A and B are shown apart, each in its own frame.
Chain A
Amino acid sequence: MSMVEDYSKILILGCGSCVTICMAGGEEEARILASQLSLALRKNGKKVEIEEFMVLRQCDNEFLDDPSLIEKVRDVGIVVSMACGVGVQHACSFFNRVIDDRAIRVVPALNTTFMGANMDVGEWEERCLGCGDCVLEKTGGICPITRCAKSLLNGPCGGSSNGKCEISKDTDCAWHLILERLEALGELDRIKPVEMYKDWRPSHDGGPRKTVREDEKI
């Protein structure tokens, strides 16, 4: 509320990919947020115009480059992006690049939390940290970097009890799962050698990452 209360024209920008699937920032959520903001602002006596617009992927110039969208952005005081943090930043830099007569304010509607799998309807669990140096081939397809609270490469630790992690009885011990999986695969020998320290440079510790596919560029 505090992000938008000073504006009389607001654009809610939904994103049609990952956040739609996660039921967090798609068309329906954009319309609900618009309605909720309208209720809250009008109750406080504010005259406000709130519009919604959907972009298939806010992390892609191709989908942001829509004249009707740019016209709307030009017309409003603030854009509330319902994309993940990537989409918010990308949309913000895109709009500020194509609209050069004033700065465009883009704010996030969501807290982007993790890359996860859909375990059940309305239920997600974190599965990848994007560390840039995958170990899944050594650990039976279970990621200890993401799923072990300590990101241990040589587990389990003393906090593992009956297959659960000490942080919560609802959290599986990743190393317990890894040992079970490797045993089933007949590959327990794989974890005998002590795994040396991980190279964190391909992860965020090496600064923001960038990938360029020269073969795809013209």
Chain B
Amino acid sequence: MKEFEPRIIAFCCHYCALAAADVAGKMEFQFPSNVRIIRVLCTGKVEVLHLLKALEAGADGVVIIGCKFGECYFKEGNYRAQKKVERAKSLIQEAGFEQGRIRYDFVPGPGGKKFASIMSTMTEEIKSLGPNPLRA
């Protein structure tokens, strides 16, 4: 039987995570190809609804990757994103989904290695949770 390959949506901040993804590529840090990156100008712009809709559309996991706390280009966008992730986690738990399907992480612009590591960890975690029940 073919091994389950999760589909992961990553909302990446233009100023840090996206740069880090680029660095990961240039430095040839390997990370799983399960991730689909959506660039956002600030993670604070990602709404709870975006996270829920990603799961509704069949994603197995959703991650928001923003700047380190205190280093947001727009000052507080990453704090907002983290709060939204917390809210979305509790909403999906009420709906019977595992909270681990949604997470928030941060990475500095030059952090290619960390970006690759976040993606690898997330992929492994989602593999252990199994596919999104909506497409199982």
Contact = CB atoms under 8 A, between A and B. Distances in A.
Co-complex (A, B): yes
B55 A39 contact: yes
Contact of B96 (A31, A32, A44): A44
Contacts of A32: 48-49, 52, 91
Contacts of A44: 96
A75 to B, nearest CB: 22
B133 A35 contact: no
A28 B49 contact: yes
Contacts, number: 37
A36 interface: yes
A28 B47 contact: yes
Contacts of B96: 39-40, 43-44
A66 B94 CA distance: 33
Contacts of B91: 32, 36
Nearest to A33: B91
Nearest to B96: A43
A38 B49 contact: no
Interface in A9-64: 28, 31-32, 35-40, 42-44
B56 A38 contact: yes
Which among A35, A38, A42, A44 has the highest number of chain B CB atoms within 10 Å?
A: A35
B97 interface: yes
Interface string A136-160: 0000000000000000000000000
Contacts of B23: none
B102 to A, nearest CB: 12
B136 to A, nearest CB: 9
Given A31-B49, A32-B49, A35-B49, A40 B94 contact: yes
